[in-house]
Structure 1
């Protein structure tokens, strides 16, 4: 559902939260540097991600995948164009609004895992809930549920250094789900894993999208993993060249 706002000759169409596409990207441009040395990372990218879909971003290194994910996740700002997530136009949010969006409505999974070495798997998963000052009992129950969901209930007390790469990425996925986000953003989540482990992690992402009712936007260059997506968007030189 959408509603119209504005007066006079201009009318803006605004998504109502909880309806419409989870992600809407319109004419997105992003460049770094200036003049002849400028790098045009994105050149007029537009697409939508319906709720409940897992959409994969395909493209070689430098095609614009990470830049696009950073813009959708509110980690960077576009030079031109519009990004809305769950009906919220990111351009209308200040830094505190973007922080709240990233904390409460978007989960991030990165290639490098990003776990805190001195914390156990359970403590790592619980970090986002501590930042939100969630009730300790609620936090413990949610952590236990998520570790079971990713198949690591028996590894809750182990630290990242005691886990394999695939297990660490599973902990990172559980952590990304801690605050019940609407959108999961994953940037090359299998990039540091062997083919068999990477496929298992991608299958897990597919499963948690279904189990948690999530929408997911996943960047990957692995052709084997693309078949698990509902839809694939291919980027080249900052443009979508195939869908």
Structure 2
């Protein structure tokens, strides 16, 4: 599903350049949840931005289901993010003035999905994440864990191939964070999507199919699933 090949990303030039990624290579298989592990500053967010088409590498390549992202123009990357990738952020990223159902419906509005179909899918997705009774509540009326569940439902709105989650449990207590990771694990299985989740919490790694560790912009460890014959992807 995702192939990252010798990816490098630098910011600035000359002696002032910051090398965020230094030749990163790995693969994420279709239908698996891969955890991207590393401390702050290790390059996790930079790598997620490249995989999500939000940034372009200085060198190397990123491909999604055979499509080299470098070959897409801005409109192509926009369509990729809208139609094939769902994003979940640490800060939830919900629109305060909208209800939970309306927040889930935002990506579908961008695709001009008819209102009735949009509302039905929003209800279905909120039920999937356990929020059937909270569809009309606004983010300020929900707990942090409930807001992140809305964000997960929103990420699924356009039936993406890939979910990218950047520290989705970072603002949650440990128990709620584990519930969100279990939810992502269940969603990957039930919806048949692939997920790449950045986290620095070792307690959450056990729920992933595979763990890739970044340190100073390089992969230092990649632990495969039991049936993965290629330990380094």
TM-score, normalised to structure 1, is 0.90
Q: CA deviation at 1:87?
A: 1.5
Confirm or deny that 1:230 pairs with 2:209.
yes
If you compute each CA radius of gyration, which structure gives the higher value, 1 or 2? 1
For residues 44 and 145 of structure 2, what CA distance do their matches in structure 1 show? 23
* Correspondence 1:17-166 to 2 at 5 A: 22-166=1-145
Provide the residue aligned with 2:158 in structure 1.
179
For residues 111 and 76 of structure 1, what CA distance do their matches in structure 2 show? 19
For residues 66 and 123 of structure 2, what CA distance do their matches in structure 1 show? 31
For residues 198 and 162 of structure 1, what CA distance do their matches in structure 2 show? 19
For the residue of structure 1 that corresponds to 2:207, the secondary structure is coil
Provide the residue aligned with 1:201 in structure 2.
180
Q: CA deviation at 1:149?
A: 0.4
Q: CA deviation at 1:37?
A: 1.8
For residues 28 and 155 of structure 2, what CA distance do their matches in structure 1 show? 19
- Structure 1: 5+ residue stretches without partners: 1-21
For the residue of structure 2 that corresponds to 1:108, the secondary structure is strand
Provide the residue aligned with 2:231 in structure 1.
none
For the residue of structure 2 that corresponds to 1:114, the secondary structure is coil
TM-score, normalised to structure 2, is 0.94
For residues 33 and 155 of structure 1, what CA distance do their matches in structure 2 show? 46
1:118-158: CA deviation from partner (whole Å, max 9, x where unpaired): 00000000000011001222211110110000000100000
Q: How many residues align?
A: 222
1:153-202: CA deviation from partner (whole Å, max 9, x where unpaired): 10000000000000000000100100000000000000000000000000
Task: Identify which of 156, 160, 170 aligns with 2:149.
Answer: 170
